[in-house]
């Protein structure tokens, strides 16, 4: 649990889009591990659900990161500001996959 929180704090300072997604994946797996270590019904079910959701959402986020890299030419979050105006439909998918 502490590792998941520490990696989440590292995510706050990331400027590279793929690194941000990768670090958030590590944070999710830390939460999965803490759920598995409880060895309770709710902990195991929650961990299993989070693993499935993480697999779907992370692969989708990496796909969207590649699409935005191909269109914008950069993975930097500072350079890619204002993508909502440039790619509104892609922004909807970002929101849906990030909220999952």
Tell me the pLDDT tens digit for each residue of 16-30.
889 888 988 888 888
Q: Measure the CA–CA gap between 94 and 100, rounded to whole angstroms.
A: 10
Residue 73: its pLDDT value, please?
84
92: how many CB neighbours lie within 10 A of its CB? Answer: 11
Three-state secondary-structure class, residue 100? coil
Give me 74's structure tokens: 């950069």
- The length of the chain is 100
The count of structural domains within the chain is 1
Name 76's bridge partners. Answer: 16
Three-state secondary-structure class, residue 82? coil
Residues of the chain with pLDDT under 50: none
Residue 6: its pLDDT value, please?
83
Q: What is the span of the domain harbouring residue 41?
A: 2-99
């Amino acid at each position: 649990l502490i590792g998941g929180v520490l990696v989440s704090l590292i995510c706050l300072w990331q400027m590279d889009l793929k690194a941000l997604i990768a670090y958030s994946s590590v944070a999710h797996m830390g939460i999965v591990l803490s759920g598995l270590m409880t060895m309770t019904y709710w902990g195991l079910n929650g961990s299993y659900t989070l693993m499935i959701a993480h697999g779907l959402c992370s692969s989708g986020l990496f796909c969207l990161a590649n699409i935005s890299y191909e269109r914008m030419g950069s993975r930097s979050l500072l350079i890619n500001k204002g993508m909502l105006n440039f790619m509104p439909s892609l922004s909807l998918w970002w929101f849906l996959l990030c909220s999952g």
